[in-house]
Amino acid sequence: MNDSNKTFSFELFPPKTDAGADKLKQAVTELNAVEPAYFSVTYGAGGSTQERTFATVDWLRDQGIDTAPHLSCIGSDRDEILDILNRYKNQGINRVVALRGDLPSGAGLGSLSDLRYANELVALIRADLGNYFHVEVAAYPEVHPQAGNADKDLANFKRKIDAGANGAITQYFYNAEGYFDFVERCEKAGIQVPITPGIMPITNYGSLARFSDACGAEIPRWIRKRLEAYGDDLAGIRAFGEDVVTDLCERLLTAGVPGLHFYTMNQSGPTLAIWRNLKLGG
């Protein structure tokens, strides 16, 4: 498979403990051996992980690794956001993932921040920092859970692109058809940026099911049923999950996706197993 013109990236979250930090460093060392385009680092809404995100980003930069910090705007004011962006700029970081972030349950939008939606964050980045940053935004082939409907969600996605985003990374999905349909609708709407599938390896059924319910990602019934049947057999879940996600990635790559963004969950093993199955090199 010729994948030299595709962008492969790995997502990390900032660890909470020293043991988690050690584990992350080990995982990054192993993942970096296959030479991804960059690592992205998540950021908790309202700055809840700010120091830990900075520490992770700083460590990656010290290793000479290309890094794309996530930045969510909800719960922060303009000046705080611009300070963070300028911090990254001064470090030579030129790629960010611009997000709204998730609201604390029960909170209204108005009182929480200067910026209410991710398109406003993209507009702020372009207004204050011009084209310095390559900006990725989030996309939802299976529709964002708070969107009024699929058409409104697509129109809102387009606002982010029109505000100046260079590309998008999707929420993870296991239905390739949903992604293909979304990309087709985007093209019809005049959206031309690369829309990179987000890929979530399957390692643990319980946590995946909980997380998927919360973020609106569907686990197809046949996959749920097969995973449930494994019960506590974690090795069985991993092996089945590896097959399912490898097949998904193969389909996506064959169809010509612009790359893959792996949600590594700070573990190298599951992502690298899929990577090797795909014969992506490194």
CB of 103 to ligand FAD, least distance (A): 7
- Annotated catalytic residue within 11, 120, 142, 242: 11
* 11 assigned to active site: yes
Q: Is the dihedral of CA 212, 218, 221, 227 positive or negative?
A: negative
What tokens were used for 211? 């997380």
72 binds ligand FAD (CB under 6 A): yes
Does position 99 bind ligand FAD by CB under 6 A? yes
Backbone φ and ψ for 86, nearest 5 degrees, come out as -70, -30
Cβ atoms of residues 271 and 245 within 8 Å: no
Report how far residue 31's alpha carbon sits from residue 263's, in angstroms, rounded to the nearest whole number: 12
* Chain centre to alpha carbon of residue 92: 21
- Check residue 117 for interaction with ligand FAD (CB under 6 A): yes
**Site membership for ligand FAD, residue 95 (CB under 6 A):** no
Among 39, 52, 153, 259, binds ligand FAD (CB under 6 A): 153
For ligand FAD, which is the closer residue by CB, 44 or 236? 44
Question: CA-to-CA distance for 53 and 70, rounded, in angstroms?
Answer: 9
Strands 7-12 and 38-41: parallel
Residue number, 144 or 238, with CB nearest to ligand FAD: 144
Among 86, 146, 239, 243, binds ligand FAD (CB under 6 A): 146
Least Å distance between CB 171 and ligand FAD?
Answer: 4
Q: What are phi and psi of 103, to 5 degrees?
A: -75, 145
Determine if 257 is a binding residue for ligand FAD (CB under 6 A).
Answer: no
Q: Is 204 exposed, middle or buried (0-12, 13-18, 19+ CB in 10 A)?
A: middle
Q: Which residues are catalytic?
A: 11
Q: Which residues bind ligand FAD (CB under 6 A)?
A: 42-45, 70, 72, 97, 99-102, 117-119, 138, 144, 146-147, 152-153, 156, 159-160, 169, 171, 198
